């Protein structure tokens, strides 16, 4: 049987392929591979079927950090990155061409199931990740306290105030990049709390907030980091960055200290794109990328510590198949762009399909639960136009739900509609994803969005609940949650 695939969708760039994802017609003039290094899975579908039937998915099947898609004129190519040298004898790499007759969404889900089975990956750690299941508080870009404290207070006092005044049942707090020492080119020089930020260290802050757990941020390593003195690092003097060599003791010691002394439950590895694209040895050493991420993941696994990927390229997401402790990944740009009116960072329906297929919970990022929060550091006139939408997307994403409001500016009624009184988030079985027909329209218009229409579902016993969202209208979302709450209450009463 011969199938004609008229249109395509390609994952490309940072935030799980969200940064440069595009769609269009499949013909001899198509520019499908716009960046071979940042390219991810390619999805081909039939225009006349509106994306509801025949689908082909092309992606790497192994050696994710050393292989790429290429395009030469009208030829689509796959193989080892040309900059890799030498290639060891008996080195193997492979790709997969996966077919489904069940449409785009289901086809991507089936492809992901095949990939997960091939690498014996399960959703055990994702399902048991406390930061995915319960409300938290975030201080990353877009959060009120990102590189910004309360007036005349340091960060230690600010975090303590957040905890003491929060009207929400938060179960953890995220500490972003503002707390540690940075060196050359903004890389990590010393992953320890700055004395002007946390005078008593992270340990001291944790004692003052009743040992509440932390999600802790990290970035790429500076050329002048202090760990070079005791551990083996590979240096890139031209790009002024460093990378731990395949040295499991470094990652174990680093994460063990953080877990034992700081109470972290998730290690957030941010800036994966710059560490990868702007570090020459990762382009020439065919084993280094795999060794780097696997050493990090193995140490986390030994310590029963979960990992969040941020600013990840598709190759990092595919590598997560080999690293069971990676439970979540960012699928949107920083919330800063949303409150400044520059980018709809809530529109995560397509990258969420990729993340979920690999077994990762899509993370929308922090949000404000009330529209205006005075004296923020974001200019000009930042605001969240639709707080309900922010909570909606976060909840139905199946990823973390984490407001980042100013003290005393949390809208409790808005946030608490997503969870039980103890902070347990009421999640659907599947992330909110873009409908097949909308993806086809997106491709027909050569990557110009034609609006947003999402769906998800939840199965409880013999009942299936559906939820939908359109760009300008919330379709019965809160009624959906209230229905589930009522359903649970009724079961308990029986």
Residue 254 belongs to domain with CATH number = 3.20.20.70
Are 159 and 279 in a shared domain? yes
Q: Which domain holds residue 158?
A: 124-432
pLDDT, residue 463, reads 65
Number of domains within the chain: 2
Are 228 and 294 in a shared domain? yes
- CB distance 334 to 314 below 8 Å: no
Q: What distance in Å separates the CA atoms of residue 211 and residue 214, rounded to the nearest whole number?
A: 9
pLDDT, residue 494, reads 42
Residue 481 belongs to some domain of the structure: no
Residue 39 belongs to some domain of the structure: yes
Each residue's pLDDT tens digit in the chain (494 positions)?
345 566 788 899 999 999 999 999 887 778 888 888 899 999 999 888 999 999 999 999 999 999 999 888 878 889 999 999 999 999 999 999 999 999 999 999 999 999 999 999 999 999 999 999 999 999 999 999 999 999 999 999 999 999 999 999 999 999 999 999 999 999 999 999 999 999 999 999 999 999 999 999 999 999 999 999 999 999 999 999 999 997 779 999 999 999 999 999 999 999 999 999 999 999 999 999 999 999 999 999 999 999 999 999 999 999 999 999 999 999 999 999 999 999 999 999 999 999 999 999 999 999 999 999 999 999 989 999 999 999 999 999 999 999 999 999 999 999 999 999 999 999 999 999 999 999 999 999 988 888 889 999 888 766 666 655 554 434 444 555 555 554 444 444 44
Residue 438 belongs to some domain of the structure: no
pLDDT, residue 450, reads 83
CA–chain centroid gap for 74, Å, is 33
Instruction: Extract the tokens encoding 432.
Output: 């909110």
Instruction: Extract the tokens encoding 112.
Output: 């992901």
Are 255 and 107 in a shared domain? no
Are 132 and 83 in a shared domain? no
> 398-437 as b/e, with b when 16 or more CB fall inside 10 Å?
bbbbbbbbbbebbbeebbbbbbeeebebbbbebbbbbbbe
Using omega within 30 degrees of 0 as the cis cutoff, is the peptide bond preceding 86 cis? yes
Residue 111 belongs to some domain of the structure: yes
Q: Is 436 helix (H, G, I), strand (E, B) or coil?
A: helix
Are 73 and 133 in a shared domain? no
DSSP secondary structure code for residue 363 in this structure: E
- CB distance 108 to 354 below 8 Å: yes
- CB distance 349 to 433 below 8 Å: yes
Are 315 and 339 in a shared domain? yes
Q: What distance in Å separates the CA atoms of residue 202 and residue 159, rounded to the nearest whole number?
A: 11
In this structure, the number of other CB atoms found within 10 A of the CB of residue 492 comes to: 7
CA–chain centroid gap for 232, Å, is 29
Helical residues (DSSP H) of 258-313, grouped into ranges: 272-277, 281-284, 288-302
* Strand 188-193, strand 180-182: pairing: antiparallel
Which of 318, 350, 278 lies closest to 40 in space, CA to CA?
Answer: 318
Residue 473 belongs to some domain of the structure: no
- Decide which of 409, 432, 455 is a domain's last residue: 432
Helical residues (DSSP H) of 364-453, grouped into ranges: 387-396, 412-415, 436-444
Instruction: Extract the tokens encoding 487.
Output: 């359903």
Which of 363, 378, 164 lies closest to 269 in space, CA to CA?
Answer: 363
DSSP secondary structure code for residue 114 in this structure: H
pLDDT, residue 470, reads 54
Are 320 and 234 in a shared domain? yes
Residue 173 belongs to some domain of the structure: yes
Going from the C-alpha of 165 to that of each of 144, 369, 411, the distances in angstroms are 15, 15, 13
Residue 1 belongs to some domain of the structure: no
Are 38 and 161 in a shared domain? no
Are 81 and 179 in a shared domain? no
- CB distance 33 to 71 below 8 Å: yes
Helical residues (DSSP H) of 99-147, grouped into ranges: 104-118, 124-127, 130-133
- Decide which of 432, 461, 477 is a domain's last residue: 432
- Decide which of 417, 432, 447 is a domain's last residue: 432
Residue 219 belongs to some domain of the structure: yes
pLDDT, residue 474, reads 42
Are 128 and 105 in a shared domain? no
Are 90 and 188 in a shared domain? no
Are 419 and 355 in a shared domain? yes
């Amino acid at each position: 049987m011969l199938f004609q695939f008229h249109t395509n969708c390609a994952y490309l760039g940072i935030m799980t392929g969200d940064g440069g994802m595009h769609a269009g017609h499949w013909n001899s003039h198509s520019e499908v591979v716009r960046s071979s290094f940042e390219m991810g899975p390619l999805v081909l579908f039939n225009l006349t079927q509106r994306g509801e039937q025949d689908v082909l998915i092309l992606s790497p099947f192994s050696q994710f950090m050393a292989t790429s898609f290429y395009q030469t004129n009208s030829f689509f190519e796959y193989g080892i990155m040309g900059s890799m040298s030498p290639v060891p004898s008996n080195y193997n790499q492979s790709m997969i061409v996966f077919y489904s007759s069940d449409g785009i969404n289901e086809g991507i889900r089936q492809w992901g199931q095949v990939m997960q089975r091939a690498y014996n990956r399960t959703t055990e750690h994702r399902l048991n990740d406390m930061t995915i299941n319960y409300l938290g508080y975030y201080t990353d870009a877009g959060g009120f306290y990102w590189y910004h404290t309360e007036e005349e207070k340091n960060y230690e006092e600010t975090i303590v105030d957040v905890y003491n005044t929060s009207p929400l049942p938060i179960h953890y707090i995220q500490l972003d990049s503002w707390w540690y020492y940075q060196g050359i080119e903004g890389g990590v020089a010393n992953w320890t709390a700055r004395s002007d930020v946390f005078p008593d260290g992270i340990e001291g802050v944790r004692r003052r907030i009743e040992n509440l757990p932390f999600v802790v941020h990290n970035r790429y390593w500076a050329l002048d980091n202090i760990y070079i003195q005791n551990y083996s690092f590979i240096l890139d003097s031209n790009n002024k960055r460093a990378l731990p060599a395949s040295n499991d003791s470094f990652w174990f010691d680093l994460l063990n200290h953080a877990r034992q002394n700081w109470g972290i439950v998730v290690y957030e590895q941010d800036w994966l794109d710059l560490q990868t694209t702007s570090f020459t040895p990762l382009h020439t050493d065919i084993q280094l990328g795999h060794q780097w991420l696997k050493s990090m993941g193995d140490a986390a696994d030994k310590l029963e510590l979960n990992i969040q990927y941020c600013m990840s390229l598709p190759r990092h997401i595919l590598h997560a198949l080999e690293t069971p402790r990676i439970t979540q990944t960012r699928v949107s740009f920083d919330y800063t762009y949303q409150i400044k009116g520059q980018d709809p960072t809530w529109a995560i329906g397509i990258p969420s399909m990729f993340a979920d297929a690999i077994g990762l919970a899509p993370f929308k990022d922090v949000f404000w639960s009330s529209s205006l929060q005075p004296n923020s550091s974001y200019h000009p006139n930042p605001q969240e136009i639709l707080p309900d939408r922010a909570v909606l997307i976060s909840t139905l994403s199946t990823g973390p739900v984490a407001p980042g409001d100013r003290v005393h500016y949390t809208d409790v009624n808005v946030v608490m509609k997503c969870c039980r009184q103890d902070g347990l988030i009421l999640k659907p079985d599947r992330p909110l994803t873009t409908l097949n027909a909308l993806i086809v329209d997106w491709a027909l218009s050569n990557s110009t969005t034609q609006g947003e229409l999402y769906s998800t579902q939840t199965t409880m016993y013999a009942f299936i609940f559906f939820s939908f969202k359109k760009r300008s209208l919330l379709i019965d979302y809160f009624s959906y949650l209230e229905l589930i709450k009522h359903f649970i209450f009724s079961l308990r009463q029986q």
